[in-house]
Chains A and B, each alone.
Chain A
Amino acid sequence: MIVLERRPAPSTAWQGLSPVLAVALTLVAGGLMFAALGNDPFAALRAIFWDPLFGEFAFFFRGQLLIKAAPLILIAVGLALGFRAGVWNIGAEGQYIVGALAGAAAGLAFYPADSRLILPMMIAAGAAGGIAWAMIPALLRVRFGTNEILVSLMLVYVAENLLASAAVGWLRNPDAVGFPGSRDLSRWGSSANPELIAGTGAHWGVAAALFAVVAAHVLLTRHITGFHIRLTGAAPRAAAFAGVNGGRLIVFCFAVSGGLAGMAGLFEVTGPAGQISIDFASGYGFTAIIVAFLGRLHPIGILLAGLLMALTYVGGDNAATSLGLPVAAISAFQGMLLFFLLAVDVLTHFRLRWRPRGVAA
């Protein structure tokens, strides 16, 4: 009988190794799944992981990589702060949408003015929108003890309806007769969030994501607030004993994650997406949860995980078009990654032991 035995201290080796092992297991299981679907598993994995970086059309995919990775990293860094403290914001997707709506609305209120202040103002409004949306579950939790997982998750669906009403109603482009969707923000000079370095896909969101990674890393390793976040996650009663104000910490975590998600939405709507449309929500807020855990809730890890996840997105698109793989198979493949990561995670805290049957400890 194989039994799990608790390690005296978490294994540092496994903390680093488990994402690698999880990726390896995902490759094997994913390959088997692709084979079962009737595709050559090696060709599929090559289309996902190799071609976007080094293939014939890599010049196109490489730009896509940062475009996809930036919002994932930006959102995941914020979520990870909360997750570290045991504060579960599952509704980043909603905060992302509301951030984009608030930012776009704030900008469009000045249309067609020409000012360099408009984009920064929109970014602030996007963050504010995300924070406002995140405050609903945060304050309900602090004031009434509601479950923030459920409230934040359900607010995603409210936000999606807000998005639809904006796209066909209050933010619709008045000049586009009959078509849903807002004005093209990426083409309006004052609001455009352009590619900063040609061919890389790097827009302001990429810069913000990098900044967020560094800031979060400093916060967690050097600042007393970051310490309190880790302490609350590791031992809530010890945190209360240390004098951490639990309610304030919840509000802080939701504000940071909501604000970053809102900013990610704003960068998306002013750049790659260009406009508020019914299908603007693309699931970044949910995928970021996977990215946060894949990156071990560690800012640097999230940076790498975000790039890897973006690669599976871009490569998945490539595989879907070039090999005709079903989109659902790509999603399942990404799901496997989280599944294996959480499963392998057990090895950080436990070791496997073989014990003859029938002996109790």
Chain B
Amino acid sequence: MLLSIEGLTKRYPGVVANDDVSFQIAAGSLHALLGENGAGKSTLVKAVYGLVRPDEGRMLLDGEPYAPDDPRAARAAGVTMVFQHFSLFDALTVAENVGLGMTERVRQRDLSERIRTVSRDYGLPLDPDARVGDLSAGERQRVEIVRCLLQDPRLLIMDEPTSVLTPQEAQILFATLRKLSAHGTAVLYISHKLDEIRALCSRATILRGGRLVDECDPRTTSSRELAERMVGGTLATPQLRKRDVGATALAVDVLDQPPASPFGVALRAVSFEVRAGEVLGVGGVAGNGQDELLSILSGEVRSRIGCVRLGDRDVSRLGPTARRTLGLSTAPEERLGHAAAPDMTLTENTIVTGARRMGLVRGGLIDWKRAAIAAAGVIRSFDVRTSGPHAAARSLSGGNLQKFVVGREIAQKPDVFAVNQPTWGVDAAAAAAIRQALVDLAAQGTAVVVISQDLDELLEVSDRFVALNEGRLSDPVPTAELTVERIGLMLGGAAGGPMPEAAVA
């Protein structure tokens, strides 16, 4: 056994993040660590990587006691980690970035050579002289991986590595990880995407509420079983109802909308229509214009006349309040600070978007009683777990706040509802509830636009699928006709027509 974890316990004020967790990772194995948000995965790997000191229990590396004081000690012992969020400097080259992370001093030329060697050996195409700012998310991840591999690790920890990758990029990553495993490096792979774990890993450790609930071989366990062990209950898939598709409710035709912020993405060619009762899924890797698309729908960013039409009305120049009044509701990706004010109560956060359509303001004066009733209504109908309407938005868990934010908009019975990343960082049970709510909303005749990076989600809820790539939107494809391969190609920007296989790599 490479790493043995024995009775590891870590307590934080008010919560036990890890409760007597014991398991072993075999040398050269591809080992999955599964669990919902808040199950204790992060704390556990932070303990292994020396970022957290456990309160109880011990770890053995190759049979020797292992208790790293900091990540440097962990790296020295052969344990490295690739985080979900990269720590790279955009203005520096790949080699310079890698050099910054190294303890030893290496000449830049030698380093470039070593990077080339490693990237060739493991099938990770990477140019050491490229500027990181010019790289895609997948390439940036390769920089982080190469940085780890240069230290000849025996255990590589990867935290949600595919959340930023297209399916094709993910395949390249999996090939690399298999090679690593064949060379004897163990990989501890954290994810909640069950299909990829089933395809990649030979062993899975499942955490729930800080406790180890199960260990299994994911190759012989169904995704559903894995998910249910993760959640500790049975999972509901959205009940698709027969929907009558009506007239066009929203028509968007945007050409060359410059980004509102210096770091934004220009919307180059985005045109689509959504009909009443239909769910349009917008797929795409993060940072390809999703936020910008939502903000021209919400009205936070105005567009040129004729770009956004609601029914037969041009709303391109209208602000968020006017659009909401006309029946166009939105929910941005960032829950805290954008969709909701963290320090304000749920009642106050109901007023944020519900002032008009819920009749909470009359003659400029706020009707607090009605607002509290409206908030309580959202809490009740969407099963938001909270102490009540007076609770601060910040005190809710991610899933519950998202249920509240989505519920707040749905309660206003919009004609069109656009939502960005409805279940991002949300636990599986809440995600299922939110997806069901979106499907139900469409069944009641609302045109729904779901922007998401979770392809499974889009396949589950949407009638038609479009991909957003570098500010360009592909032609819509009925979801029923989609294959994972086709989606991947659409996400990569090769929209619509026939795809040569060579375009993938």
Contact = CB atoms under 8 A, between A and B. Distances in A.
Interface residues of B, number: 39
A242 B344 CA distance: 14
Interface string A214-225: 000000001111
A5 B299 CA distance: 37
Given A8-B395, A231-B344, A241 B53 contact: no
B320 A242 contact: yes
B353 A241 contact: yes
B114 to A, nearest CB: 30
B177 to A, nearest CB: 28
Interface in A218-252: 222-225, 227, 230-231, 234-235, 237-243, 245
Nearest to A234: B341
A235 B320 contact: no
Given A243-B299, A360-B70, A238 B340 contact: yes
B53 A223 contact: no
Contacts of A240: 300, 320
B272 to A, nearest CB: 22
A225 B395 CA distance: 26
Contacts of A358: 53, 69
A359 interface: yes
Contacts of B364: 223-225
Nearest to A231: B341
B348 interface: yes
A237 B260 CA distance: 13
Interface string A291-312: 0000000000000000000000
Interface string B139-168: 000000000000000000000000000000
A241 B344 contact: no
B320 A243 contact: yes
Nearest to A6: B394
Interface in B352-369: 352-353, 355, 361, 364-366
Contacts of A13: none
Contacts of B52: 360-361
Contacts of A239: 341
B402 to A, nearest CB: 15
B10 to A, nearest CB: 10
B339 interface: yes
A227 B366 contact: yes
B338 A238 contact: yes
B337 interface: yes
B392 to A, nearest CB: 5
B412 interface: no
Interface string B304-321: 000000000000000111
Given A224-B355, A234-B342, A360 B321 contact: no
A9 interface: yes
Contacts of A359: 53
Interface in A120-158: none
B198 interface: no
A8 B53 CA distance: 23
A199 interface: no
A338 B381 CA distance: 46
Contacts of B12: 361
B51 interface: yes
A241 B365 contact: no
Interface string A1-24: 000010011100000000000000
B208 interface: no
Nearest to B391: A9
A231 B392 CA distance: 13
B217 interface: no
A235 B342 contact: yes
Given A241-B338, A242-B320, A243-B319, A8 B366 contact: no
A260 B34 CA distance: 60
A227 B70 contact: no
Contacts of B70: 360
A216 B102 CA distance: 58
Contacts of A222: 365-366
B324 interface: yes
B26 to A, nearest CB: 29
Contacts of A230: 344, 348
Contacts of B392: 8-10
B218 to A, nearest CB: 32
A227 B342 contact: no
A225 B363 CA distance: 11
Contacts of B13: 5, 353
A10 to B, nearest CB: 6
Given A242-B320, A242-B352, A243-B319, A224 B366 contact: yes
B422 to A, nearest CB: 16
29 contacts: A5-B13, A8-B395, A9-B343, A9-B394, A222-B365, A223-B364, A223-B365, A224-B364, A224-B366, A227-B366, A231-B341, A231-B348, A231-B352, A234-B341, A234-B343, A234-B344, A235-B337, A235-B342, A237-B337, A238-B340, A240-B300, A241-B320, A241-B339, A243-B299, A243-B324, A358-B53, A359-B53, A360-B53, A361-B12
Interface of A: 5, 8-10, 222-225, 227, 230-231, 234-235, 237-243, 245, 353, 358-361
Given A234-B343, A241-B338, A241-B352, 18 more contacts: A8-B395, A9-B395, A222-B365, A222-B366, A224-B361, A231-B348, A235-B337, A235-B342, A237-B334, A238-B341, A240-B300, A241-B298, A241-B300, A241-B332, A241-B339, A242-B352, A358-B69, A359-B53
Q: Which 6 A-B pairs have the closest CB atoms?
A: A243-B321, A243-B320, A235-B341, A242-B352, A237-B338, A234-B341
